[in-house]
Amino acid sequence: MIVFLALLPAYILSIFYRSFLSVIANPVMADLGIGPREFGFLGAAWFVAFALAQFPVGWALDRLGPRRTVAALMALGSVGAFLFAYATSALTGTFAMALIGLGCAPIFMSSLFLFARNEVPARFGLLTSVFIGLGSLGNLAGAAPLAIAAAHLGWRGAMLAMACCFLAATLLAAALVRDPPRSTKAGGKEEGLLQGLRSILALRPLWLLAPITLTGYAIVATARGLWIAPFMTDVHGFDAITSGHVATVMAVAMVVGAFAYGWLEKSVGRGKPLALWGSVITGLAFAALALLGEQAALAIALFALIGAAGFTYAILMAHARQFFPDHLIGRGMTTVNFVFIAGAAAIQSGSGWFIAGQREAGFDAASTFANLHWAFAALLLVPAAIYALTPERVVKA
């Protein structure tokens, strides 16, 4: 419960900051004088900084503990949150988002680190799913409530309020997080940052996990975090608040999906089939969206299905956790999380370039988004086929 009390508020904000831009896309682009390419970079900056921080965060969790790691980086994130509210250009906005990404980088990993060190492996997937499900309230806050707040306060006023929340969460985490006893490699010798990374990369099952880890979360996060509201606005003529409500539908589905995956894994006792079939269903839903997305009600239903079925993050993380020895839990999980978040950074940035290129080629909004959704379908279904080959459990010698 201490983990939930100390880090859940911060994690809610971390989820908010990776998904809020879609809802205020038009006023942000207009105010900062940017187009889709720069907007894609704006979203990607959070993910790039977050991803690059994972390796030092993993080392710090294993060697320094979560308390100092969280407090130091979240302080930087608080600065970034206030800076974004006052950003006047693409440069300052992108730098602010990068600082926020750094601040969010240790939050979820510290929670998983504490779960892994203090609970039996059989409970890890359930606790992770519950934590993600509750944290996904940030997804809800970044949908219709943000659209309504921005309509009344302006996007800067809304973001200033969120910056104050980030600072409060920083102080709460610094006060409550406690470090577990340190764990060392058998024989008492600790592995350094690079040596630990080499040990992690030598785990062959992780290479089969990598493709779905790279794209599975990234595509769902990009659809929800950047393009769902512009899709509903440009293709279906929805206003900002109505588009925010559609984003809320997808966000609620992601919360339901997170809890459902946790319950199913506990009931079935197997995570791999859930992640595999969830990824396949999500890929097929994107294909259906590409074909039938001009029907508004069906598009909303498909976004909800994508949110629920595609939120396999916790199940994939629990699958990967089985392959790490205790002394590498921090670095192992942050390495896997790096792949998750690096994929999101690449796809968010790449999707901005894709949308801009489609517009320059003369495609209308419906065709542009249909082509994007076809690409998302392929980027899910091919890695899912590779994931099918991954061992389900650790093979003991």
Is pTM beyond 0.85? Reply is no
What is the token pair recorded at 61? 């969790």
Q: Using an 8 Å Cβ cutoff, are 272 and 319 in contact?
A: yes
| Residue written as token pair 């809020």 | 20
Q: Please tell me the predicted confidence (pLDDT) of residue 268.
A: 80
Q: Using an 8 Å Cβ cutoff, are 289 and 295 in contact?
A: no
Q: Is the Cα dihedral 345, 350, 353, 358 positive or negative?
A: negative
pLDDT tens sequence across 353-386: 999 899 999 999 999 999 999 999 999 999 999 9
pLDDT band, residue 2 (cuts 50/70/90): confident
Q: Is residue 151 packed enough to be buried (19+ CB in 10 Å), middle (13-18) or exposed (0-12)?
A: middle
Highest mean pLDDT pick, 26-35, 124-133, 226-235, 380-389: 380-389
Q: Please tell me the predicted confidence (pLDDT) of residue 296.
A: 93
Q: Is the Cα dihedral 75, 80, 81, 83 positive or negative?
A: positive
Q: Please tell me the predicted confidence (pLDDT) of residue 125.
A: 67
Range with lowest mean pLDDT among 72-81, 131-140, 183-192, 277-286: 183-192
Mean pLDDT along residues 160-173: 95
Domains, in order of start, for the chain: 2-178+204-387 (1.20.1250.20)
Q: Please tell me the predicted confidence (pLDDT) of residue 187.
A: 46
Residue % of the chain over a pLDDT of 70: 92
Quote the mean pLDDT of the chain: 86
Phi-psi region of 269 (alpha: psi -120 to 50; beta: other; left: phi over 0): left
Q: Please tell me the predicted confidence (pLDDT) of residue 396.
A: 47
Q: Using an 8 Å Cβ cutoff, are 10 and 74 in contact?
A: yes
pLDDT tens sequence across 185-243: 544 455 555 666 777 777 787 888 889 999 998 999 899 888 898 899 999 999 888 98
SS3 299: helix
One-letter amino acid of 281: I
What is the rounded distance in angstroms from the CA atom of residue 257 to the CA atom of residue 199?
A: 33
End-to-end CA distance of the chain: 36
Mean pLDDT along residues 63-89: 92
Mean pLDDT along residues 106-132: 77
pLDDT band, residue 119 (cuts 50/70/90): low
SS3 238: coil
Highest mean pLDDT pick, 48-52, 100-104, 338-342: 100-104
Chain-centroid distance, C-alpha 25 = 18
